[in-house]
Amino acid sequence: MSTSGTSGRAITIRRVPREMRVTRRSYLRSLLYNGGRPWHRAATMASTWLAKKKGVIMSVISKTRYIPPTTPIDEQIRILNEYRAQYLIGQTGGLYLLARELLRRGKPFPLRIVAPTGATLMPEMRQTMRDAFGVDPRDLYGAVELGTISWQCRRGNYHLDADRMIVEIVDEQGNPVPTGQTGQVVCTGLFNYTMPLIRYKLLDVASLLPAPCGCKVQFPLMGTVQGRINDFLPTARGDLVSPHYLYHIFDSAGGSPVKEWRIIQHAPNHLTYEYVPEDNFNPKALEIGMNVIRERFGPGTRVDAVRVENVPMTPNGKRTCIVSMMKPGDHSGMRPWDAEAAAGMSQELAAALISR
Ligand SMILES: [Zn+2]
Protein backbone atom coordinates (compact mmCIF):
# COMPACT_ATOMS: atom_id res chain seq x y z
CA MET A 1 0.00 0.00 0.00
CA SER A 2 1.03 3.61 -0.48
CA THR A 3 0.43 6.52 1.83
CA SER A 4 -1.37 9.53 0.42
CA GLY A 5 1.60 11.84 0.66
CA THR A 6 -0.50 14.74 1.91
CA SER A 7 1.79 15.08 4.91
CA GLY A 8 4.94 15.12 2.84
CA ARG A 9 6.30 12.44 0.57
CA ALA A 10 4.20 9.42 -0.33
CA ILE A 11 5.85 6.22 0.86
CA THR A 12 5.13 2.59 0.08
CA ILE A 13 4.43 0.32 3.03
CA ARG A 14 4.65 -3.48 2.81
CA ARG A 15 1.87 -5.37 4.52
CA VAL A 16 0.65 -8.97 4.61
CA PRO A 17 -3.12 -9.68 4.60
CA ARG A 18 -3.14 -10.41 8.34
CA GLU A 19 -1.80 -6.95 9.09
CA MET A 20 -4.31 -5.38 6.70
CA ARG A 21 -7.13 -7.16 8.53
CA VAL A 22 -6.02 -5.78 11.90
CA THR A 23 -5.95 -2.29 10.39
CA ARG A 24 -9.41 -2.61 8.87
CA ARG A 25 -10.86 -3.97 12.09
CA SER A 26 -9.50 -0.96 13.92
CA TYR A 27 -12.04 1.14 11.99
CA LEU A 28 -14.86 -1.29 12.74
CA ARG A 29 -14.20 -1.18 16.48
CA SER A 30 -14.78 2.55 16.71
CA LEU A 31 -18.03 2.16 14.75
CA LEU A 32 -19.20 -0.60 17.10
CA TYR A 33 -18.50 1.54 20.16
CA ASN A 34 -20.46 4.36 18.59
CA GLY A 35 -23.56 2.22 18.12
CA GLY A 36 -22.90 0.79 14.67
CA ARG A 37 -24.18 -2.73 14.05
CA PRO A 38 -23.44 -5.14 11.19
CA TRP A 39 -27.04 -5.03 9.96
CA HIS A 40 -27.00 -1.26 9.49
CA ARG A 41 -26.47 0.02 5.97
CA ALA A 42 -23.18 1.86 5.62
CA ALA A 43 -21.93 4.04 2.82
CA THR A 44 -18.22 4.65 2.62
CA MET A 45 -16.09 6.92 0.52
CA ALA A 46 -12.95 5.79 2.32
CA SER A 47 -12.46 2.03 1.86
CA THR A 48 -11.10 1.80 -1.68
CA TRP A 49 -10.44 -1.94 -1.21
CA LEU A 50 -14.22 -2.51 -1.35
CA ALA A 51 -14.04 -1.75 -5.08
CA LYS A 52 -11.73 -4.74 -5.53
CA LYS A 53 -12.93 -8.28 -6.23
CA LYS A 54 -12.91 -9.58 -2.65
CA GLY A 55 -14.14 -6.25 -1.37
CA VAL A 56 -17.28 -6.43 -3.53
CA ILE A 57 -18.29 -9.69 -1.80
CA MET A 58 -17.46 -8.19 1.60
CA SER A 59 -19.51 -5.10 0.83
CA VAL A 60 -22.58 -7.27 0.21
CA ILE A 61 -22.05 -9.27 3.44
CA SER A 62 -21.34 -6.17 5.51
CA LYS A 63 -24.13 -4.07 3.93
CA THR A 64 -21.64 -1.46 2.85
CA ARG A 65 -21.96 0.61 -0.26
CA TYR A 66 -18.73 2.00 -1.64
CA ILE A 67 -18.93 5.45 -3.22
CA PRO A 68 -15.70 6.35 -5.06
CA PRO A 69 -14.53 9.76 -3.80
CA THR A 70 -14.41 11.02 -7.40
CA THR A 71 -18.22 10.57 -7.70
CA PRO A 72 -19.95 13.90 -8.46
CA ILE A 73 -21.93 15.27 -5.49
CA ASP A 74 -25.30 14.87 -7.28
CA GLU A 75 -24.54 11.20 -7.76
CA GLN A 76 -23.37 10.81 -4.12
CA ILE A 77 -26.70 12.19 -2.92
CA ARG A 78 -28.59 9.92 -5.30
CA ILE A 79 -26.73 6.85 -3.99
CA LEU A 80 -27.30 7.81 -0.33
CA ASN A 81 -31.03 8.11 -0.97
CA GLU A 82 -31.30 4.98 -3.06
CA TYR A 83 -29.29 2.91 -0.59
CA ARG A 84 -30.99 4.51 2.44
CA ALA A 85 -27.61 4.71 4.15
CA GLN A 86 -27.53 4.81 7.95
CA TYR A 87 -23.79 5.45 8.40
CA LEU A 88 -21.45 7.46 6.34
CA ILE A 89 -17.70 7.15 6.44
CA GLY A 90 -15.45 9.23 4.26
CA GLN A 91 -12.71 11.72 3.78
CA THR A 92 -13.33 14.82 5.90
CA GLY A 93 -13.23 17.34 3.04
CA GLY A 94 -15.52 15.23 0.86
CA LEU A 95 -18.11 14.77 3.64
CA TYR A 96 -17.98 18.48 4.41
CA LEU A 97 -18.74 19.40 0.79
CA LEU A 98 -21.52 16.84 0.65
CA ALA A 99 -23.01 18.26 3.88
CA ARG A 100 -22.84 21.79 2.49
CA GLU A 101 -24.60 20.76 -0.69
CA LEU A 102 -27.38 18.99 1.27
CA LEU A 103 -27.92 22.13 3.35
CA ARG A 104 -27.84 24.34 0.27
CA ARG A 105 -30.64 22.23 -1.22
CA GLY A 106 -32.52 22.41 2.06
CA LYS A 107 -32.58 18.61 2.19
CA PRO A 108 -30.64 17.31 5.20
CA PHE A 109 -29.98 13.56 5.24
CA PRO A 110 -30.33 12.17 8.79
CA LEU A 111 -27.86 9.43 9.67
CA ARG A 112 -26.98 7.34 12.74
CA ILE A 113 -23.23 7.84 12.46
CA VAL A 114 -21.00 10.10 10.42
CA ALA A 115 -17.31 9.26 10.63
CA PRO A 116 -15.03 11.69 8.85
CA THR A 117 -11.37 10.78 8.53
CA GLY A 118 -8.16 11.71 6.73
CA ALA A 119 -7.96 15.41 7.57
CA THR A 120 -8.34 17.73 10.51
CA LEU A 121 -12.02 18.24 11.30
CA MET A 122 -12.37 22.00 11.66
CA PRO A 123 -15.14 23.30 13.97
CA GLU A 124 -17.12 24.76 11.07
CA MET A 125 -16.92 21.45 9.20
CA ARG A 126 -18.26 19.69 12.28
CA GLN A 127 -21.15 22.14 12.56
CA THR A 128 -22.04 21.78 8.87
CA MET A 129 -22.06 17.98 9.12
CA ARG A 130 -24.12 18.15 12.32
CA ASP A 131 -26.71 20.31 10.55
CA ALA A 132 -26.79 18.21 7.38
CA PHE A 133 -26.73 14.73 8.92
CA GLY A 134 -28.53 15.43 12.20
CA VAL A 135 -25.79 13.83 14.27
CA ASP A 136 -22.51 14.94 15.77
CA PRO A 137 -19.68 13.55 13.60
CA ARG A 138 -17.45 10.89 15.18
CA ASP A 139 -14.07 11.93 13.98
CA LEU A 140 -11.54 9.21 13.21
CA TYR A 141 -7.92 10.26 13.40
CA GLY A 142 -5.74 7.82 11.57
CA ALA A 143 -3.15 7.24 8.90
CA VAL A 144 -3.20 4.83 5.97
CA GLU A 145 -0.05 3.14 7.21
CA LEU A 146 -1.29 2.63 10.79
CA GLY A 147 -5.08 2.56 10.67
CA THR A 148 -7.05 4.32 13.39
CA ILE A 149 -4.90 6.19 15.89
CA SER A 150 -7.68 7.74 17.93
CA TRP A 151 -11.41 8.11 17.56
CA GLN A 152 -14.23 9.98 19.20
CA CYS A 153 -16.50 8.22 21.64
CA ARG A 154 -20.10 9.23 22.34
CA ARG A 155 -18.87 11.87 24.76
CA GLY A 156 -16.84 13.46 22.00
CA ASN A 157 -13.42 12.61 23.46
CA TYR A 158 -10.68 11.03 21.37
CA HIS A 159 -9.55 7.61 22.63
CA LEU A 160 -6.24 6.18 21.52
CA ASP A 161 -6.10 2.70 19.98
CA ALA A 162 -3.62 1.89 22.73
CA ASP A 163 -3.69 -1.89 22.19
CA ARG A 164 -2.54 -1.48 18.58
CA MET A 165 0.06 1.24 18.91
CA ILE A 166 2.06 3.41 21.26
CA VAL A 167 1.30 7.09 20.73
CA GLU A 168 3.72 9.72 22.00
CA ILE A 169 3.58 13.50 21.80
CA VAL A 170 7.11 14.82 21.47
CA ASP A 171 8.98 18.10 21.45
CA GLU A 172 11.54 19.26 18.88
CA GLN A 173 14.19 16.94 20.31
CA GLY A 174 11.86 13.97 20.11
CA ASN A 175 11.35 13.82 23.88
CA PRO A 176 7.83 13.11 25.16
CA VAL A 177 6.12 16.25 26.48
CA PRO A 178 3.95 16.24 29.63
CA THR A 179 0.28 15.35 29.35
CA GLY A 180 -1.73 18.34 28.19
CA GLN A 181 1.18 19.94 26.33
CA THR A 182 1.10 20.30 22.55
CA GLY A 183 3.68 18.61 20.37
CA GLN A 184 4.15 16.37 17.38
CA VAL A 185 2.39 12.99 17.15
CA VAL A 186 4.75 10.01 16.97
CA CYS A 187 3.43 6.43 16.69
CA THR A 188 4.87 2.96 17.10
CA GLY A 189 2.68 0.28 15.54
CA LEU A 190 2.40 -2.98 17.49
CA PHE A 191 1.03 -4.95 14.52
CA ASN A 192 3.44 -3.85 11.81
CA TYR A 193 5.50 -7.04 11.51
CA THR A 194 6.48 -6.86 7.83
CA MET A 195 7.69 -3.30 7.90
CA PRO A 196 7.84 -2.01 11.46
CA LEU A 197 7.02 1.64 12.10
CA ILE A 198 8.87 2.76 15.19
CA ARG A 199 8.38 6.27 16.54
CA TYR A 200 6.91 7.20 13.20
CA LYS A 201 6.38 10.94 12.83
CA LEU A 202 2.99 11.91 11.46
CA LEU A 203 3.55 15.69 11.13
CA ASP A 204 0.40 16.33 13.16
CA VAL A 205 0.12 18.61 16.17
CA ALA A 206 -1.84 17.37 19.20
CA SER A 207 -1.61 16.64 22.94
CA LEU A 208 -2.39 13.77 25.30
CA LEU A 209 -5.13 14.41 27.85
CA PRO A 210 -5.38 13.31 31.50
CA ALA A 211 -8.20 11.63 33.39
CA PRO A 212 -10.71 8.99 32.44
CA CYS A 213 -13.39 9.97 29.95
CA GLY A 214 -16.34 8.64 31.91
CA CYS A 215 -17.61 6.53 29.02
CA LYS A 216 -17.18 2.74 28.88
CA VAL A 217 -14.05 2.95 26.70
CA GLN A 218 -10.97 2.47 28.84
CA PHE A 219 -8.36 3.66 26.34
CA PRO A 220 -6.37 6.82 27.18
CA LEU A 221 -7.33 10.18 25.73
CA MET A 222 -5.76 12.63 23.34
CA GLY A 223 -6.85 16.13 22.35
CA THR A 224 -8.04 17.08 18.89
CA VAL A 225 -5.43 17.30 16.19
CA GLN A 226 -4.81 21.00 15.83
CA GLY A 227 -3.63 20.77 12.27
CA ARG A 228 -1.18 19.10 10.00
CA ILE A 229 2.20 20.73 10.10
CA ASN A 230 2.00 21.16 6.31
CA ASP A 231 -1.30 23.01 6.63
CA PHE A 232 0.41 25.85 8.49
CA LEU A 233 1.48 28.30 5.80
CA PRO A 234 4.54 30.51 6.24
CA THR A 235 4.41 34.27 5.68
CA ALA A 236 7.16 36.51 4.34
CA ARG A 237 7.44 37.93 7.87
CA GLY A 238 8.58 34.53 9.08
CA ASP A 239 5.58 33.37 11.10
CA LEU A 240 3.03 30.66 10.36
CA VAL A 241 -0.66 30.98 9.57
CA SER A 242 -2.88 28.36 11.18
CA PRO A 243 -5.28 26.53 8.80
CA HIS A 244 -8.10 27.59 11.16
CA TYR A 245 -7.48 31.20 10.19
CA LEU A 246 -8.27 30.50 6.54
CA TYR A 247 -11.66 29.08 7.44
CA HIS A 248 -12.67 32.38 9.02
CA ILE A 249 -11.70 34.95 6.38
CA PHE A 250 -15.34 35.83 5.66
CA ASP A 251 -16.41 36.22 9.29
CA SER A 252 -16.48 40.01 8.98
CA ALA A 253 -18.17 39.84 5.55
CA GLY A 254 -21.48 38.63 6.95
CA GLY A 255 -21.38 35.21 5.35
CA SER A 256 -19.28 33.24 2.93
CA PRO A 257 -19.65 34.10 -0.78
CA VAL A 258 -18.10 30.76 -1.84
CA LYS A 259 -19.38 27.19 -2.01
CA GLU A 260 -15.99 25.54 -2.33
CA TRP A 261 -12.50 26.88 -2.10
CA ARG A 262 -8.85 26.05 -1.85
CA ILE A 263 -5.82 28.19 -1.26
CA ILE A 264 -2.57 27.54 -3.08
CA GLN A 265 0.66 29.01 -1.79
CA HIS A 266 3.31 29.57 -4.48
CA ALA A 267 5.65 31.63 -2.30
CA PRO A 268 5.31 33.16 1.18
CA ASN A 269 3.98 36.36 -0.45
CA HIS A 270 2.06 34.85 -3.35
CA LEU A 271 -1.18 32.90 -3.01
CA THR A 272 -4.05 31.88 -5.26
CA TYR A 273 -7.56 31.57 -3.84
CA GLU A 274 -9.66 29.31 -6.06
CA TYR A 275 -13.38 29.41 -5.41
CA VAL A 276 -16.73 28.20 -6.65
CA PRO A 277 -19.15 31.11 -6.10
CA GLU A 278 -22.35 30.78 -4.06
CA ASP A 279 -25.61 31.18 -6.00
CA ASN A 280 -26.09 34.63 -4.47
CA PHE A 281 -22.45 35.54 -5.00
CA ASN A 282 -21.36 38.80 -3.40
CA PRO A 283 -18.10 40.15 -4.93
CA LYS A 284 -17.71 42.62 -2.06
CA ALA A 285 -17.64 39.82 0.49
CA LEU A 286 -15.01 38.03 -1.59
CA GLU A 287 -12.87 41.15 -1.61
CA ILE A 288 -13.16 41.48 2.17
CA GLY A 289 -11.91 37.88 2.53
CA MET A 290 -9.02 38.44 0.13
CA ASN A 291 -7.97 41.51 2.11
CA VAL A 292 -8.05 39.49 5.32
CA ILE A 293 -5.59 37.05 3.71
CA ARG A 294 -3.37 39.88 2.38
CA GLU A 295 -3.27 41.48 5.80
CA ARG A 296 -2.39 38.26 7.57
CA PHE A 297 0.38 37.29 5.12
CA GLY A 298 1.89 40.76 5.25
CA PRO A 299 2.26 43.88 3.13
CA GLY A 300 2.97 43.30 -0.54
CA THR A 301 1.39 39.83 -0.54
CA ARG A 302 -0.25 38.99 -3.85
CA VAL A 303 -3.53 37.09 -3.57
CA ASP A 304 -5.21 36.15 -6.85
CA ALA A 305 -8.87 35.17 -6.58
CA VAL A 306 -9.69 32.72 -9.35
CA ARG A 307 -13.23 31.60 -10.08
CA VAL A 308 -13.40 27.90 -11.01
CA GLU A 309 -16.14 25.46 -12.01
CA ASN A 310 -15.12 23.01 -9.32
CA VAL A 311 -12.19 22.56 -6.97
CA PRO A 312 -10.12 19.63 -8.22
CA MET A 313 -9.27 16.72 -5.98
CA THR A 314 -5.76 15.54 -5.30
CA PRO A 315 -4.58 12.54 -7.40
CA ASN A 316 -5.42 10.23 -4.46
CA GLY A 317 -9.03 11.39 -4.42
CA LYS A 318 -8.80 13.71 -1.42
CA ARG A 319 -10.28 17.15 -1.23
CA THR A 320 -7.93 19.57 0.35
CA CYS A 321 -8.36 23.26 1.04
CA ILE A 322 -4.71 24.06 1.63
CA VAL A 323 -2.05 23.37 -0.99
CA SER A 324 1.59 24.36 -0.86
CA MET A 325 3.52 24.53 -4.13
CA MET A 326 6.69 25.60 -2.39
CA LYS A 327 9.69 23.37 -2.88
CA PRO A 328 12.05 22.27 -0.12
CA GLY A 329 14.52 25.10 0.45
CA ASP A 330 12.19 27.83 -0.85
CA HIS A 331 11.86 29.03 2.66
CA SER A 332 14.48 27.10 4.52
CA GLY A 333 13.80 26.51 8.15
CA MET A 334 10.11 27.24 7.76
CA ARG A 335 8.61 24.40 5.77
CA PRO A 336 8.63 21.04 7.52
CA TRP A 337 9.20 19.03 4.37
CA ASP A 338 10.87 16.14 6.07
CA ALA A 339 10.54 14.62 9.46
CA GLU A 340 13.76 16.15 10.74
CA ALA A 341 12.73 19.68 9.83
CA ALA A 342 9.29 18.98 11.25
CA ALA A 343 10.76 18.03 14.59
CA GLY A 344 12.21 21.51 14.84
CA MET A 345 8.88 23.17 14.17
CA SER A 346 7.01 22.81 17.39
CA GLN A 347 8.16 26.10 18.96
CA GLU A 348 6.97 28.07 15.97
CA LEU A 349 3.84 25.96 15.72
CA ALA A 350 3.05 26.52 19.36
CA ALA A 351 3.45 30.25 18.76
CA ALA A 352 1.22 30.05 15.69
CA LEU A 353 -1.43 28.13 17.61
CA ILE A 354 -1.39 30.52 20.51
CA SER A 355 -1.53 33.59 18.28
CA ARG A 356 -4.65 32.26 16.57
ZN1 LIG B 1 -14.99 8.27 25.99
CATH number at residue 291: 3.30.300.30
Ligand 1 midpoint to CA 121 (Å): 18
Ligand 1 midpoint to CA 152 (Å): 7
Q: In angstroms, rounded to a whole number, what is the distance separating the alpha carbons of residues 251 and 27?
A: 35
One domain for residues 328 and 210:
no
Q: In angstroms, rounded to a whole number, what is the distance separating the alpha carbons of residues 193 and 176?
A: 24
Ligand 1 midpoint to CA 24 (Å): 21
Ligand 1 midpoint to CA 218 (Å): 8
One domain for residues 194 and 233:
no
Q: With bands split at pLDDT 50, 70 and 90, how would you rate the model's confidence at 322?
A: confident
Question: What tens digit of pLDDT does each residue of 208-249 get?
Answer: 999 789 998 999 999 988 777 667 788 888 777 877 778 788
From residue 182, give the alpha-carbon distance in Å to each of 6, 69, 148, 168, 209. 21, 32, 20, 11, 10
Q: Which residues contact 312 (CB under 8 A, 6 or more apart)?
A: none
Task: Please give the share of the chain, as a percent, with pLDDT higher than 90.
Answer: 38
Q: Is 3 inside a domain boundary? A: no
Q: With bands split at pLDDT 50, 70 and 90, how would you rate the model's confidence at 38?
A: confident
One domain for residues 83 and 162:
yes
pLDDT, residue 169, reads: 94
Ligand 1 midpoint to CA 219 (Å): 8
Nearest of 54, 111, 120, 122 to residue 88 by alpha carbon: 111
Ligand 1 midpoint to CA 150 (Å): 11
Ligand 1 midpoint to CA 202 (Å): 23
Q: With bands split at pLDDT 50, 70 and 90, how would you rate the model's confidence at 45?
A: confident
One domain for residues 170 and 256:
no
Q: Is 294 inside a domain boundary? A: yes
Residue bearing the bigger pLDDT, 34 or 1: 34
Ligand 1 midpoint to CA 33 (Å): 10
Domain that holds residue 156: 17-222
pLDDT, residue 346, reads: 38
Ligand 1 midpoint to CA 224 (Å): 13
Residue bearing the bigger pLDDT, 128 or 97: 128
How remote is the C-alpha of 38 from its chain's centroid?
A: 26
One domain for residues 45 and 162:
yes
| H-helix or E-strand spanning residue 304 | strand 302-307
Q: Which of 192, 222, 252 finishes a domain?
A: 222
Q: Is 149 inside a domain boundary? A: yes
Ligand 1 midpoint to CA 215 (Å): 4
CATH code for position 187: 3.40.50.12780
Ligand 1 midpoint to CA 35 (Å): 13
Ligand 1 midpoint to CA 19 (Å): 26
Please give all residues whose CB falls under 5 A of ion ligand 1, grouped by chain where several chains appear. 153, 155, 157, 213, 215, 217
One domain for residues 53 and 193:
yes
Q: Is 164 inside a domain boundary? A: yes
Which of 99-108, 296-305, 307-316 has the lowest average pLDDT? 307-316
26: Cα within 13 Å, side-chain hemisphere: 28
Ligand 1 midpoint to CA 97 (Å): 28
pLDDT, residue 199, reads: 94
One domain for residues 137 and 64:
yes
One domain for residues 81 and 210:
yes
Ligand 1 midpoint to CA 186 (Å): 22
Q: Is 188 inside a domain boundary? A: yes
Cβ(99)–Cβ(129) below 8 Å: yes
Residue 290 CB coordination number (10 Å): 17
Ligand 1 midpoint to CA 18 (Å): 28
Task: Please give the share of the chain, as a percent, with pLDDT higher than 70.
Answer: 84
Q: Is 10 inside a domain boundary? A: no
Ligand 1 midpoint to CA 94 (Å): 26
Question: What tens digit of pLDDT does each residue of 195-210 get?
Answer: 999 999 887 888 999 9
Q: Which of 222, 255, 287 finishes a domain?
A: 222
Q: With bands split at pLDDT 50, 70 and 90, how would you rate the model's confidence at 65?
A: confident
Across 41-50, average pLDDT: 77
Ligand 1 midpoint to CA 209 (Å): 12
From residue 55, give the alpha-carbon distance in Å to each of 31, 68, 89, 317. 19, 13, 16, 19
Ligand 1 midpoint to CA 216 (Å): 7
Across 274-283, average pLDDT: 91
Q: Is 4 inside a domain boundary? A: no
Q: Is 172 inside a domain boundary? A: yes
Overall domain count for the chain: 2
One domain for residues 196 and 235:
no
Ligand 1 midpoint to CA 85 (Å): 25
250: pLDDT strictly greater than 70:
yes
Ligand 1 midpoint to CA 154 (Å): 6
Ligand 1 midpoint to CA 156 (Å): 7
Q: Which of 158, 191, 222 finishes a domain?
A: 222
One domain for residues 203 and 294:
no
77: pLDDT strictly greater than 50:
yes
